[in-house]
Structure 1
Amino acid sequence: MELLAYLTEGNVANFLLLLLRFAGIIAFFPFFENQMINNSIKGALIFWLTILFVPLLDVVPPANWTILRFIVAGLSEIMLGFLASMALQIVFGMISFGGELISFAMGLTIANAYDPITGAQKPIVGQLLTLLALLIALGLDYHHLFFYFVAQSIQEIPLGGFLFTQNYIEYIVKSFASLFVVGLTMSFPIIALILLSDIIFGMIMKAHPQFNLLAIGFPVKIAVAFAVLVVIVPAIMLHFKREFLSAFDALTLLFQAGF
């Protein structure tokens, strides 16, 4: 009887909107949108988290809700998860873009491998750096930051009332522009070294035309690039850590500023 008394129109609307908020966030956030995670597991996780976070909600007056307004509110909740995930996806995109540049410089663009996370074909170096970045994110208590972000969004953004501001649009545009700059910065040591090796091999071929570039030059370039990659990976991950934490801070500030 207590359960039936709790199932009022306002409580049901709150529960469904919170369910859609979690669905939008888990569907687009890095790691949670992993295709290796079964959809039934994602659905169970969304339902369980919704039950846990329901006590943080306020009751919505039933008289204010119509079917059309509820549909619009549900779409705004899904949009919240999509737009919030963009800032984090851009940070992971920096790592992926830098890895693609490194693979191109090493001549490994043909050596693509299936990425089980996104379900697409990616260069081997880019996929390796992305997996390392994901492990670093989990080491930074990414799951705890995820729960903190949801709790803050519930307190600052009313259910069904999300509207992204111009500040958020400017932040996304600047972050997307920095994606290419940061990716190039991460891969620059290897690109510069391979360019230098190309100049040296060109001078050798000019002095000794019998020098076989395909048999000697490419393996040497790949070996040197891997050696440099091992040295600069800690610096790349440190830069990723800084960008990742700043993205979470920016999300909290931008969403709170809109309300």
Structure 2
Amino acid sequence: MFEFLFDTNKIVLFFLTVVRISGILFTAPVFGSEIISARIKLFLSILIGILIFPFITAIDLSKANNLLMILIIIKELLIGIATGLIGRFLFVGVQFGGQVIGTQMGFGIVNVLDPQNNAQISLVAQFQNIIMILFFLVIGGHLYIIQAIVKSFEMIPLGVFVFNKESYIFIVTIFSKIFLTALKITAPIFVTLLVTQVVLGIMGRLVPQLNILIIGFPIQIAGGLIVIITSLTFFYSMFESLMYEYLNNILRLFRYLGV
């Protein structure tokens, strides 16, 4: 298994393999969490690299100069980062939707620390983020990430330079779908809170004696929490479909970047 340690060319190829895998694991959901130490991520990258390296197509880099090697390293790192970020966009969309819903429910100033990204987010966004992490593990998202690592080496051989405008436009398009993801995840809560606010506005007009500010906040909070709890099944089915869409997007990206 470790015969490549006696071949300089294979050592370079193994280093490039670890660079690509590191780019994926350091940016992918769950694996790229700030809670997980960078040493553990690097250890996993090396371990996965050792396991899949015997199945990677070898190329001759013995005649490559320093500038070419630097470009190859940057290219492998960018492929890994792009692969991991496409998965991370799912969680960004969920957090963004939770942030909007939290503000509508009246939790706009109630923020907690998200240890995964080391940032302050709303209470509802953190709750949805934790739920989606659990869904991610139940669906087998961590296995999908490993599958994406293997597929990347099958469809994009080491040392290939195929950065075209289609791949760039595709990544930008995926990034723009963050808002669509947020809308899909939070649609039931958003509609419920919107209807609640409309009803409270009508009641305020019909019965001016009611203090809408006092009775409105408890109603919105209670209604929002009830819908969140009752729509967890919808969240699961929606997130599962988004995970399958993530796999398709990864394969499309590999087709754009591959030969």
Q: With the length of structure 2 as denominator, give the TM-score of the two structures.
A: 0.89
Kindly state the Cα deviation for residue 163 of structure 1 after the two structures are TM-superposed. Answer: 3.1
Q: Distance in 2 between matches of 1:165 and 1:196?
A: 46
Q: Which amino acid aligns with 1:28?
A: T
Q: Residue 163 and residue 98 in structure 1: after superposition, are their counterparts in 2 closer, same or farther (change >3 A)?
A: same
Kindly state the Cα deviation for residue 184 of structure 1 after the two structures are TM-superposed. Answer: 2.5
Q: Distance in 2 between matches of 1:128 and 1:121?
A: 13
Kindly state the Cα deviation for residue 7 of structure 1 after the two structures are TM-superposed. Answer: 1.8
Q: Secondary structure at the match of 2:62?
A: helix
Match of 2:12 in 1: 13
> Is 1:75 matched with 2:108?
no
Q: Residue 3 and residue 135 in structure 1: after superposition, are their counterparts in 2 closer, same or farther (change >3 A)?
A: closer
Match of 1:104 in 2: 103
Alignment of 1:49-88 (within 5 A): 49-88=48-87
Give deviations 1:182-235, integer Å, cap 9, x for gaps. Answer: 323433333333233333333444454443334322112100111112122321
Q: Secondary structure at the match of 1:114?
A: strand
Match of 1:166 in 2: 165
Q: Which amino acid aligns with 2:88?
A: Q
Q: Distance in 1 between matches of 2:152 and 2:194?
A: 48
Q: Which amino acid aligns with 1:195?
A: L
Q: Distance in 2 between matches of 1:181 and 1:254?
A: 19
Alignment of 1:1-259 (within 5 A): 6-257=5-256, 258-259=258-259
Task: Identify which range, 75-84 or 200-209, moves more after superposition.
Answer: 200-209
Q: Which amino acid aligns with 2:101?
A: I
8 Å contact 2:24–2:81 — kept in the other structure?
Answer: yes
Q: Which runs of 5+ in 1 are unaligned?
A: none
Task: Identify which range, 127-136 or 140-149, moves more after superposition.
Answer: 140-149
Q: Distance in 2 between matches of 1:198 and 1:72?
A: 55
Kindly state the Cα deviation for residue 4 of structure 1 after the two structures are TM-superposed. Answer: 7.9
Q: Residue 3 and residue 80 in structure 1: after superposition, are their counterparts in 2 closer, same or farther (change >3 A)?
A: closer
Q: Which amino acid aligns with 1:245?
A: Y
Q: Which amino acid aligns with 1:211?
A: L
Task: Identify which range, 242-251 or 117-126, moves more after superposition.
Answer: 242-251
Q: Which amino acid aligns with 2:189?
A: I
Q: Residue 4 and residue 86 in structure 1: after superposition, are their counterparts in 2 closer, same or farther (change >3 A)?
A: closer
Q: Which amino acid aligns with 2:246?
A: A
Q: Secondary structure at the match of 1:247?
A: helix
Q: Residue 245 and residue 17 in structure 1: after superposition, are their counterparts in 2 closer, same or farther (change >3 A)?
A: same
Q: Which amino acid aligns with 1:36?
A: I
Q: Residue 149 and residue 204 in structure 1: after superposition, are their counterparts in 2 closer, same or farther (change >3 A)?
A: closer
Q: Secondary structure at the match of 1:211?
A: coil
Q: Distance in 1 between matches of 2:227 and 2:3?
A: 65
8 Å contact 2:102–2:108 — kept in the other structure?
Answer: yes
Q: Which amino acid aligns with 2:155?
A: E
Q: Secondary structure at the match of 2:26?
A: helix
Q: CA RMSD for the aligned pairs?
A: 2.3
Q: Which amino acid aligns with 2:110?
A: A
